[in-house]
Amino acid sequence: MADDKPRRVCRPRAATNKWDAEQRTALHVLCTHFNSFGWPLVTKAFNVLFEEHLSSRGFPDGLLEGSLKAQYAKSERNGKPQIWASICAQPATDEEWHRRIELTARIRTVLTALQTGAQNQPAVPRLGETATGAGRRQPATESPPDEPKTPLKRLSRFMLAESMVKRRKTDSGATSGSAMPRPADRPAQTAPASFVAEPPSTGRATSSVTSGTNTNIRVAVSVKIVANGKGAAHSQPAEPVTPPSTRSRKTPRSEQRLQDHTRRNALTLKLTDEEIARTKLPLVPVPQGLAHPPSPGLLYRYWDENSYGRNSETGFVAGRFMYNNLFPRTAPKCHELDDTDIENHLNRNKVASPFCSASNCLLWIVRLGLQEARRGVKQGRIALIDTDSLPADGVYHVKPLHKRIKPQFPFTNGAWRYDGTHELYVLPSSKHAG
């Protein structure tokens, strides 16, 4: 009988989301350009963008984070579906570039609104809205509401690179037989101004330097936005972008041609043409202010039984004058010093030096003493010298003297790297009894 037949139970279908190219593109932009925000905020932004579509498919609260991860995982496979291969590729036409720009701008607006959480934020535009509702334009006399922009440090490298793309010159007759209206004549939008990276476009771009001393450039980009099959011209100002450096790349030394530079009493060096030309230039004089530093009050000198010259607890005499009865004449100016004396002292050549070496840094002298002790020296001592007993013009800072003769390449061994930051030369004179 008919009444004995089992009844079929009609169960409601489970809610399923039908993924289309627009949703996949939005997910790709979120995961590629805004991945620093994290999956929770990316999921919220996606659900806001497609709120109406997801509600119609049975997802009033939006998709879960796991659903977005599972869908995006398909794009990372080696054998990705054809639909994902076309989305992950760069836009090929101007129309695709315009759509990608509009989508990126809307996503940034949504992320900014979700991140700030302010109550007075303007309505977030949904994808696919018409000119009515939240996407309706305001009269030209009204200014768009202010909204905090996404910090540049939160943007991905791709977005920062897009902002540096060189802007192409446009033709006046490139747009459907009519000229694009000027940015000043276009009505403002209700959506907040956001950063737009300009790809190759047929619109007109105008730039103006921001006020103040900042060298950043603000660019107003004219793009054609396609919404529900209708084209509308919009002008969106870009955030300040630091112009790329125009400094030319310096050729590394390893890529330059090296030539033999013969020295009289040292090994032959391999130098570049620039370095060889520098050896033929006259030496630059050292200013008096650099050669004679301010008096530190105390100087420190390490000496032992192997130190050259006459060294004692009552005074020091440089090796060149240790056998003289007469005192040297007044200390010469720094530009009057014999450069060979500086070379010999720094290279530790076994010749009599007119200088007594001292230091203005106690730690440096202690370190020197410890090094000599590890080498087996047992009679090392550190003397304290009162600078009030020294002539001010007889104390020379080694660092500027080292820098003066370095372009001539006279040094050997470690003297190339040692510049005498904490070392001073004391040159005795008739004012100083030694």
Q: List, for residues 244-254, the tens digit of each pLDDT value.
A: 667 777 778 77
Rounded to whole angstroms, how far apart are CA atoms 352 and 71? 82
Q: Which residue has the higher pLDDT, 240 or 335?
A: 335
219 and 298 co-located in one domain: no
3-state secondary structure the chain: CHHHCCCCCCCCCCCCCCCCHHHHHHHHHHHHHCHHHCHHHHHHHHHHHCHHHHHHCCCCCCCCHHHHHHHHHHHHCCCCCHHHHHHHCCCCCHHHHHHHHHHHHHHHHHHHHHHHCCCCCCCCCCCCCCCCHHHCCCCCCCCCCCCCCCCHHHCCHHHHHHHCCCCCCCCCCCCCCCCCCCHHHCCCCCCCCCCCCCCCCCCCEEEEECCCCCCCEEEEEEEEEEECCEEEEEEEECCCECCCCCCCCCCCHHHCCEEEECCCCCCCEEEEHHHHHHHCCCCCCCCHHHHCCCCCCEEEEEECCCCCCEEECCEEECHHHCCCCCCCCCCCCHHHCCHHHHHHHHHCCCCCCCCEEEECCHHHHHHHHHHHHHCCCCCCEEEEEEHHHCCHHHEEEHHHHHHHHHHHCCCCHHHHCCCCCCEEEECCCCCCCC
Asked if 140 and 261 touch (Cβ cutoff 8 Å), the reply is no
Do residues 198 and 191 lie in contact, with contact meaning Cβ atoms separated by under 8 Å?
Answer: no
| 385 in a structural domain | yes
Provide the domain count of the chain. Answer: 3
- Establish if 71 belongs to a structural domain: yes
* pLDDT on residue 160: 41
**Residue 195 pLDDT more than 80?**
no
Q: Are residues 274 and 355 in the same domain?
A: no
Same-domain check for residues 80 and 215: yes
Same domain, 259 and 131: no
The reply to whether 161 and 256 lie within a common domain is no
Q: What is the mean pLDDT of residues 355-363?
A: 91
pLDDT one-digit tens code per residue, 367-413: 999 999 999 988 899 999 888 888 888 899 999 998 888 888 888 87
Within a domain: 11: no
Residues 233, 327, single domain; the answer is no
Task: Quote the pLDDT of residue 429.
Answer: 59
Domain that holds residue 412: 284-426
108 and 187 together in one domain: yes
Q: Are residues 357 and 230 part of one domain?
A: no
| Domain match, 192 and 303 both | no
pLDDT at 245: 65
pLDDT at 110 over 70: yes
Residue 13 belongs to some domain of the structure: no
More reliable by pLDDT, 11 or 323? 323
pTM more than 0.85: no
- In the structure, what pLDDT confidence band is assigned to residue 188 with cuts at 50, 70 and 90? very low
pLDDT of 122: 43
pLDDT number for residue 96 = 84
Q: Is residue 4 part of a domain?
A: no
Is the domain of 130 the same as that of 220? Answer: yes
Residue 145 lies in a domain: yes
Q: Which of 135-139, 187-191, 390-394 has the highest mean pLDDT?
A: 390-394
Average pLDDT over residues 8-25: 76
Mean pLDDT of 188-193: 42
Asked, for residue 116, whether it belongs to a domain, the answer is yes
Q: Please report whether residue 176 resides in a domain.
A: no
Q: What is the pLDDT of residue 149?
A: 43
Q: Are both 359 and 397 inside the same structural domain?
A: yes
* Residue 213 sits in the same domain as residue 269: no
